[in-house]
């Protein structure tokens, strides 16, 4: 069951280093379909962009590296370094089969460096290498009260409504300033140096651009940090959904027997998802009133990723981007989570470089996903240079 892991290798560059190229060929669901200007699974070119689901995330960017390998093999007939390709089909649903696939094959998948192009540049002509990714912890919080749904006329005022209780618990997870209120939550958050923050302020998006990208008028969150910082070097907790009580049109006088919320933490070094899970559970227990029971189900855990900035593969990637795009790359911090980056670097021990060719506004996960074709071609050049640079080091 599941989508196969697709592999390929070329290991004839004796004495040279080995590059693992990761990509994923699965995509997010295309819904809502009616918002696509052309069918999501019929690639269409308009104004220099290729439109379609997966154009950027990640089929198009994965294909960049395939075309680079093809270029080498069709011209010189060989590659300058050894290459292992690892293409999975379940990235968007948790990569479970990839973990299983690699579990017994760690030796076979050893490499000196890995490259992933499942991300975007800072802007047109602003190539970037990912400096960090946040980790994640997803959980479901269920509040159970009385053993059946009640009529809110007959019982309103006498029974602690589980849906209200859920709201009260959620409201206590942040303090009034917008910081997460779980005791101990920040204990392991690594301070970022003033120099690094100054670098972020210089190259990263400002608050105005972040708000424009979000379609929001005002920012919010932990005091003392820019919006870019709040979404990258600081942890976050989001409520992703609540289910409870009557969901239809009009009114229904019900006190539901239970209510549940889906919560999503984003974690930064050196937070440990398991430790945060325990702190979260303990705090929820503390703030849960005796009138209800609470169940916490952990759905997903992923560790943060931090680039090995001084590794020679990073130097090679920087040189390749400078040559391929024509501009030296910057270091970019990312708020999202790519568990496979942690898997490759920390579990398989392969220094990993994330560099992408998509652009902000390419609508990854949304309707009318696209990929700028000129970036596709510049990406191929960059990948060719990466292989050459790795051979040189």
Q: Which positions from 178 through 197 interact with its own copies, judged by CB under 8 A?
A: 178
**Of 12-20, 48-56, 286-294, 382-390, which segment contacts its own copies by CB under 8 A?**
286-294
Q: Does 214 engage in binding with its own copies (CB under 8 A)?
A: yes
What is the contact mask toward its own copies in residues 53 to 92, using x (rule: CB under 8 A)?
----------------------------------------
The residue from 153, 184, 206, 328 that contacts its own copies (CB under 8 A) is 153
Phi-psi label, residue 22: left if phi above 0, alpha if psi -120 to 50, beta otherwise: beta
CB of residue 105 to its own copies, shortest distance in Å: 26
Residue 112 CA to residue 116 CA, distance in Å, equals 14
Residue 300 CA to residue 273 CA, distance in Å, equals 9
Residues 23-42 that bind its own copies (CB under 8 A): 28-29
Residues 128-147 that bind its own copies (CB under 8 A): 134, 136, 138, 145-147
**Closer CB to its own copies, 57 or 112, in the complex:** 57
Structure-token pair, residue 60: 């198009």
Q: Does 122 engage in binding with its own copies (CB under 8 A)?
A: no
Backbone Cα Rg of the chain: 24
Give the phi and the psi of residue 306 in degrees, each rounded to 5: -130, 130
**Closer CB to its own copies, 318 or 333, in the complex:** 333
**Closer CB to its own copies, 70 or 213, in the complex:** 213
The residue from 101, 199, 300, 312 that contacts its own copies (CB under 8 A) is 300
The residue from 9, 196, 222, 346 that contacts its own copies (CB under 8 A) is 222
Structure-token pair, residue 142: 């269920």
Residue 177 CA to residue 29 CA, distance in Å, equals 36
**Of 59-67, 74-82, 101-109, 161-169, which segment contacts its own copies by CB under 8 A?**
161-169
**Closer CB to its own copies, 66 or 366, in the complex:** 366
Q: Does 278 engage in binding with its own copies (CB under 8 A)?
A: no
Which residues fall within 8 angstroms of residue 186, CB to CB, at 6 or more apart?
Answer: 179, 180, 235
The residue from 101, 186, 246, 312 that contacts its own copies (CB under 8 A) is 246
Q: Does 99 engage in binding with its own copies (CB under 8 A)?
A: no
CB of residue 69 to its own copies, shortest distance in Å: 29
Residue 337 near residue 310 (C-beta atoms within 8 A): no
Give the phi and the psi of residue 210 in degrees, each rounded to 5: -60, -45
Residues 326-365 that bind its own copies (CB under 8 A): 334-337, 363-365
Q: Name beta bridge partners: 21.
A: 85, 115
DSSP letter (8 states) at residue 6: E
**Of 36-44, 45-53, 100-108, 289-297, which segment contacts its own copies by CB under 8 A?**
289-297
Give the phi and the psi of residue 140 in degrees, each rounded to 5: -110, 135
DSSP letter (8 states) at residue 108: T
Q: Does 374 engage in binding with its own copies (CB under 8 A)?
A: no
C-alpha pair distances (Å), 362 with each of 64, 310, 368: 16, 30, 8
CB of residue 124 to its own copies, shortest distance in Å: 18
Residue 117 CA to residue 8 CA, distance in Å, equals 17
Structure-token pair, residue 176: 């009034």
């Amino acid at each position: 069951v599941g989508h196969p892991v697709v592999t390929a290798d070329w290991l004839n560059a004796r004495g040279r280093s080995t590059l693992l190229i990761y990509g994923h060929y699965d995509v997010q669901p295309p819904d809502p379909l009616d918002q696509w200007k052309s069918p999501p699974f019929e690639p269409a070119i308009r104004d220099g962009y290729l439109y379609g689901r997966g154009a950027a995330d990640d089929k198009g960017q994965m294909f960049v590296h395939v075309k680079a390998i093809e270029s080498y093999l069709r011209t010189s007939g060989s590659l300058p370094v050894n290459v292992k390709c690892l293409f999975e089909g379940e990235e968007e649903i948790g990569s479970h089969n990839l973990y299983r696939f690699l579990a017994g094959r760690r030796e076979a998948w050893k490499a000196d460096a890995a490259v992933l192009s499942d991300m975007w540049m800072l802007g047109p002509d602003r190539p970037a290498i990912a400096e960090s990714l946040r980790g994640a912890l997803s959980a479901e919080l269920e509040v159970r009260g009385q053993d059946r749904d009640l009529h809110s006329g007959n019982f309103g005022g006498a029974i602690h409504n589980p849906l209200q209780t859920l709201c009260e618990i959620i409201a206590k997870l942040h303090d009034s300033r917008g910081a997460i209120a779980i005791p101990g939550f920040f204990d392991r958050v690594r301070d970022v140096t003033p120099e690094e923050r100054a670098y972020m302020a210089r190259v990263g998006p400002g608050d105005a651009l972040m708000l424009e990208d979000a379609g929001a008028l005002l920012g919010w969150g932990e005091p003392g940090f820019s919006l870019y910082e709040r979404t990258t070097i600081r942890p976050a907790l989001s409520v992703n959904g609540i289910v409870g009580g009557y969901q239809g049109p009009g009114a229904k006088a019900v006190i539901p027997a239970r209510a549940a919320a889906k919560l999503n933490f984003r974690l930064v070094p050196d937070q440990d998802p398991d430790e945060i899970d325990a702190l979260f559970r303990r705090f929820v227990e503390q703030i849960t009133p005796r009138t209800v029971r609470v169940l916490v189900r952990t759905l997903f855990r992923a560790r943060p990723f931090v680039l090995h900035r001084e590794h020679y593969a990073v130097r090679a990637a920087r040189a390749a981007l400078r040559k391929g795009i024509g501009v030296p790359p910057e270091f970019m911090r990312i708020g999202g989570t790519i568990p496979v980056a942690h898997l490759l670097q920390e579990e398989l021990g392969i220094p990993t470089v994330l560099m992408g060719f998509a652009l902000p506004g390419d609508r990854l996960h949304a309707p009318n996903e696209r990929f700028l074709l000129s970036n596709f071609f510049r990406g191929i050049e960059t990948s060719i240079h990466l292989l050459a640079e790795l051979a040189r080091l």
